[in-house]
Chains A and B, each alone.
Chain A
Amino acid sequence: MNALKVALYILVYPGFLFQSGFSTFLEWLDRKVYARMQNRRGPMYTGWAGILQPIADIVKLLSKEDIVPAAADQRAFAFMPILSLAAVFTAGLYLPVWHLRSFNSFEGDLIVVLYLLTIPSFALFLAGWFSVSPYSLLGATRVLTQLFAYEVPFFMAVLTPAVLAGSWQISKIAIFPWTVAGHWWVIPIELIAFVVAILALQAKLERVPFDIPEAETEVVGGPLTEYSGKKLAIFRLQKDILMYVGAALVACVFLGGFGALPQGGDQASIGVLGLVFGGYLGGVAGLLLGVVGLLLKTTLVVFLLSTLRAACARIRIDQIVRFSWRYLAPWSVAQFLIVLLLKAKGAV
């Protein structure tokens, strides 16, 4: 029975099926928002308002011919998409989307998720490296250069709320603003770290203005230049799930996750909605509201990412390195100091 439950967790919710479905929805939303901001309509005729467009793309790619270049390392070439998909998918399992804590959560899962989210970048680098094409190689080296730029600010920004909450467990960080009455103000004081995390997440996802590794006017398709068919489909799915996991992580850590809602008996939930609904909806309904709350917050983060993508143009590789180390890293250090001072004064 327990094994069945775990299998359901892994395969259906919050595992593979849910992650794939919701992340394709997020890609559709991202494309729609991007199109509307460019005065376009975006996908229209694939399902309602084009909502099935990402699924059509992936099914089409799965049904296409799969070319492996003769010069490429056959096994490594085929292994990289699977490795990166497995990494982001495993990271998604640690997110507390259902209960207060996910079935495999433990003290320190935030660090595990952060490391798992680094693997796709390395897989992308190795994918470009093993496909042995000049454009792939250039793109691959850019992936690594960019990784060194955004990774440290991202880690520092995400660890700030952890220090604030005094825990390395995502669910505890997420519930922290709602545990004591009137404690929600810890959300606005983390604004700087939130901005840094959004910018670094955009760089991690390699989207405009940080799409330097796959800048099509310079390096054709970047590390994915030689990928086609099924392997490209897996990479696309991986990118969507990475967007979902990254956005949901930011929503959990900075925006209070499923918070402000009743989550069963063991935690006091004193947010506004908790006060309103807590008396009437216990158990399942409260859980559902929590899930909807978290998904709405995730969607909000993706909306911010799309806005950033539509508003900016691509910058150069030296500019992103300079920007991260000159601005993002000091900003996150400043945020860290603010939080430490607050904690020292006993305000939190």
Chain B
Amino acid sequence: MFKKLIKWARTKSPWVLHFNSGACNACDIEILAALMPHYDLERFGVQLKATPRHADVLLCSGPVTKQIAPRLKRIYEQMPEPKAVVAVGACACSGGAFRGCYNVLEGVDQIIPVAAYIPGCPIKPEALIDGVAKLLGKA
């Protein structure tokens, strides 16, 4: 009963933190589009939070450059449990257009555990909503 209540609350109120780990900004614009009036992620209780301490889901775009890798790890460690990471866009999933470059790590999962991959270059806001909904269905 108590566990059910907690699970209900967790699936109904995922607060997201948006982190750009060296993306070209296209995915970031699409993430913002998903939060804007047309798609309105707040329908599902999603709110964009400014600090990792408040967030449940880390929306990470970009292929993770070598310079930003320790910072990404630190942001992830600052989030309170339970937490989930969503790799947003082809770059975050596998390196995408930057795959093989000398200065990138080819994907978010090289640094931190990823719960959901959303491919696309850039992703569509619908794809982001679908991915987050599937992630919450799994939780």
Q: Give chain A interface residues in 206-240, CB to chain B under 8 Å.
A: 216-217, 220-221, 224-229, 232
List of A residues within 8 angstroms of B12 by Cβ: 45-46, 52-53, 56, 60
In the bound complex, do residue B6 and residue A59 qualify as a contact, i.e. CB atoms below 8 Å apart? yes
List of A residues within 8 angstroms of B10 by Cβ: 60, 63
A286 at the A/B interface (Cβ < 8 Å)? Answer: no
Separation in Å of the B131 CB from the closest CB of chain A? 17
> Residue A229 contacts which of B5, B37, B80 (CB distance < 8 angstroms)?
B80
In the bound complex, do residue B6 and residue A228 qualify as a contact, i.e. CB atoms below 8 Å apart? no
Q: Give chain A interface residues in 328-348, CB to chain B under 8 Å.
A: none
Separation in Å of the A232 CB from the closest CB of chain B? 6
List of A residues within 8 angstroms of B40 by Cβ: 35, 40-42
Q: Give chain A interface residues in 51-68, CB to chain B under 8 Å.
A: 52-53, 55-57, 59-60, 63-67
> Residue A45 contacts which of B44, B50, B54, B82 (CB distance < 8 angstroms)?
B44
List of B residues within 8 angstroms of A38 by Cβ: 37
A15 at the A/B interface (Cβ < 8 Å)? Answer: no
Determine which residue in B5, B13, B40, B80 has the highest number of CB atoms from chain A within 10 A of its CB, and name it: B13
Separation in Å of the A309 CB from the closest CB of chain B? 15
A264 at the A/B interface (Cβ < 8 Å)? Answer: no
Q: Mark A13-46, 1 if CB is under 8 A from B, else 0.
A: 0000000000000000001000100111111111
In the bound complex, do residue B80 and residue A220 qualify as a contact, i.e. CB atoms below 8 Å apart? no
Determine which residue in B49, B53, B78, B82 has the highest number of CB atoms from chain A within 10 A of its CB, and name it: B53
> Residue B80 contacts which of A35, A50, A57, A65 (CB distance < 8 angstroms)?
A65
* Given A40-B40, A42-B42, A65-B80, A228 and B13 contact (CB-CB distance below 8 Å): no
Closest to A54 in B: B13
Q: Give chain B interface residues in 35-75, CB to chain A under 8 Å.
A: 37, 40, 42-45, 49-51, 53-54, 56
In the bound complex, do residue A220 and residue B50 qualify as a contact, i.e. CB atoms below 8 Å apart? yes
> Residue B50 contacts which of A40, A216, A227 (CB distance < 8 angstroms)?
A216
In the bound complex, do residue A50 and residue B50 qualify as a contact, i.e. CB atoms below 8 Å apart? no
Q: Mark A92-111, 1 if CB is under 8 A from B, else 0.
A: 00000000000000000000
List of B residues within 8 angstroms of A56 by Cβ: 8-9, 12-13, 45
> Residue B45 contacts which of A46, A63, A220, A229 (CB distance < 8 angstroms)?
A46
* Given A40-B37, A60-B13, A232 and B54 contact (CB-CB distance below 8 Å): yes
Once the chains are docked, how many angstroms separate the CA of A122 from the CA of B51?
A: 22
Closest to A58 in B: B9
In the bound complex, do residue A57 and residue B13 qualify as a contact, i.e. CB atoms below 8 Å apart? yes
Once the chains are docked, how many angstroms separate the CA of A227 from the CA of B55?
A: 11
In the bound complex, do residue A227 and residue B43 qualify as a contact, i.e. CB atoms below 8 Å apart? no
List of A residues within 8 angstroms of B56 by Cβ: 60, 64
In the bound complex, do residue B82 and residue A64 qualify as a contact, i.e. CB atoms below 8 Å apart? yes
Separation in Å of the B126 CB from the closest CB of chain A? 16
In the bound complex, do residue A225 and residue B13 qualify as a contact, i.e. CB atoms below 8 Å apart? no
List of A residues within 8 angstroms of B37 by Cβ: 38-40
Once the chains are docked, how many angstroms separate the CA of A41 from the CA of B10?
A: 21
In the bound complex, do residue A43 and residue B45 qualify as a contact, i.e. CB atoms below 8 Å apart? yes
In the bound complex, do residue B45 and residue A57 qualify as a contact, i.e. CB atoms below 8 Å apart? yes
List of B residues within 8 angstroms of A229 by Cβ: 80
In the bound complex, do residue A221 and residue B51 qualify as a contact, i.e. CB atoms below 8 Å apart? yes
Closest to A67 in B: B80
Once the chains are docked, how many angstroms separate the CA of A305 from the CA of B37?
A: 21
Closest to B14 in A: A60
In the bound complex, do residue A53 and residue B50 qualify as a contact, i.e. CB atoms below 8 Å apart? no
> Residue A228 contacts which of B9, B42, B54 (CB distance < 8 angstroms)?
B54
Q: Give chain B interface residues in 1-21, CB to chain A under 8 Å.
A: 5-6, 8-10, 12-13
Once the chains are docked, how many angstroms separate the CA of A93 from the CA of B6?
A: 30
List of A residues within 8 angstroms of B42 by Cβ: 31, 35, 40-43
List of B residues within 8 angstroms of A41 by Cβ: 40, 42-43
> Which residues of A pack against B, CB within 8 Å?
31, 35, 38-46, 50, 52-53, 55-57, 59-60, 63-67, 135, 216-217, 220-221, 224-229, 232
List 20 other contacts, CB 8 Å, given A44-B43, A60-B12: A39-B37, A40-B42, A41-B40, A41-B42, A41-B43, A43-B45, A44-B44, A50-B43, A53-B45, A56-B12, A60-B13, A63-B10, A65-B80, A220-B50, A220-B51, A221-B49, A225-B50, A226-B51, A228-B53, A228-B54
